């Protein structure tokens, strides 16, 4: 079933960092995602999942959706699940959040992301996100000023 997720990021000068969280079952570094609830928009799902899984609040860049197939282990088999990810400018990182006992958080510079998440499905997503960096930087700059 189609899921919705975020690529949480922050910019400082020329650097862009991405926030990863651990998966609940295998402890791998992933990006927050989940199923949209009934009558919930993609932006609302993004904000909810960002807070539940990573304890973050921010702005969804709705103009830059990236849909990829992500491998998900279900019942002993690996299946491909379509996930539409949105860049998500992190404005606040909370100290307490719903999944904090089940997940860890880790910020990585965009160029170091392949060392954190080595799975091909996420690497392709990160490459697509990197291709958008001129627009993402411009958005962050305008928002912060």
Specify the DSSP class assigned to residue 110. G
Is residue 142's pLDDT more than 80?
yes
* CATH class label, 3-144: alpha beta
Band (120; pLDDT cuts 50, 70, 90): confident
Q: Which residues pair with 56 in a beta bridge?
A: 93
Is residue 113's pLDDT more than 80?
yes
**Per-domain boundaries in the chain:** 3-144
Q: 77-105: per-residue pLDDT in tens?
A: 888 899 999 999 999 999 999 999 999 99
Half-sphere exposure (Cβ direction) of 72: Cα atoms closer than 13 Å: 16
Contact 88, 50 (CB under 8 A): yes
Look-up of token digits 């928002």: 143
Contact 2, 56 (CB under 8 A): no
Average pLDDT, the chain: 93
pLDDT of residue 31: 96
């Amino acid at each position: 079933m189609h899921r919705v997720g975020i690529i949480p990021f922050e910019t400082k000068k020329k650097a862009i960092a991405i926030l990863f969280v651990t998966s609940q079952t295998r402890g791998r570094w992933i990006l927050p995602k989940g199923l949209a609830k009934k009558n919930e928009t993609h932006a609302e799902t993004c904000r909810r999942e960002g807070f539940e899984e990573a304890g973050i609040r921010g702005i969804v860049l709705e103009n830059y959706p990236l849909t990829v197939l992500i491998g998900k282990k279900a019942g002993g088999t690996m299946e491909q699940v379509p996930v539409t990810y949105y860049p998500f400018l992190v404005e606040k990182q909370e100290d307490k959040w719903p999944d904090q006992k089940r997940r860890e958080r880790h910020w990585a510079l965009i160029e170091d992301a392949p060392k954190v998440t080595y799975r091909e499905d996420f690497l392709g997503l990160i490459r697509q996100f990197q291709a958008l960096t001129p627009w993402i930087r411009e958005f962050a700059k305008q928002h912060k000023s």
